[in-house]
C-alpha cells in the first residue's frame, strides 16, 4: 500500500514538472529559442524534440537554467538547409547550428560543437603573439 502511494505521488510530481511552451521550428532563431527554453525548464522531451532526429537518442539532460537574459540572431544562412544562430548572453557569444529537417528547423548539437571549435581556432589565430 505504501509503495503504491509513493508511486502515485511520483507520477503526480512528474506530471506537474515544468514543461516548455515554446515549440516553434519555423525559423533557425525560433528553433534555437525552443531548444534553449526547454533546457531552461529542464524539459528533456522538448529538448529532444528540438534537435535533429539523428541526435535525439544521444541527447541527455540539457541545463540552461542559469542562462539569464539572452538574445538570438541569425548569424548566417549557410544554404537553404543550414544556418548558424548566435546566442548572446552578457559578454558571451556562442553559435548554435541549425538544420532544416522535414520542413522544420532543428538544432544540431554536433554541428554546434563544430562551430564552437571553429570559433575558438579563429580566436586563437587572431590573438596577438
Assign residue 97 the CATH number of its domain: 3.10.450
Residue 62, in any domain of the structure: yes
Q: What is the pLDDT of residue 129?
A: 75
Q: How many domains does the chain have?
A: 1
Structural domain including 64 reads: 18-126
pLDDT confidence band for 10 (50 / 70 / 90): very low
Q: What is the pLDDT of residue 11?
A: 33
Residue 13, in any domain of the structure: no
Residue 43, in any domain of the structure: yes
Looking at per-residue pLDDT, the higher value among 8 and 72 belongs to 72
Three-state SS string across 53-100, please? Answer: HHHHHHCCCCCCCCCCCCEEEEEEECCCCEEEEEEEECCEEEEEEEEE
Please state whether the predicted TM-score (pTM) of the whole model is above 0.85: no
Residue 101, in any domain of the structure: yes
Amino acid at each position: 500500500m505504501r509503495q503504491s502511494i509513493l508511486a502515485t505521488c511520483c507520477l503526480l510530481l512528474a506530471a506537474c514538472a515544468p514543461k516548455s511552451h515554446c515549440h516553434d521550428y519555423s525559423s533557425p532563431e525560433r528553433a534555437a529559442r525552443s531548444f534553449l527554453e526547454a533546457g531552461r525548464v529542464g524539459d528533456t522531451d522538448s529538448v529532444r524534440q528540438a534537435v535533429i532526429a539523428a541526435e535525439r537518442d544521444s541527447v541527455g539532460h540539457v541545463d540552461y537554467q542559469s542562462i539569464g537574459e539572452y538574445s538570438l540572431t541569425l548569424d548566417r544562412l549557410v544554404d537553404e538547409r543550414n544556418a548558424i544562430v548566435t546566442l548572446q548572453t552578457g559578454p558571451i557569444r556562442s553559435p548554435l547550428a541549425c538544420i532544416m529537417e522535414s520542413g522544420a528547423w532543428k538544432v544540431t548539437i554536433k554541428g554546434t560543437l563544430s562551430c564552437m571549435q571553429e570559433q575558438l581556432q579563429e580566436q586563437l589565430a587572431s590573438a596577438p603573439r
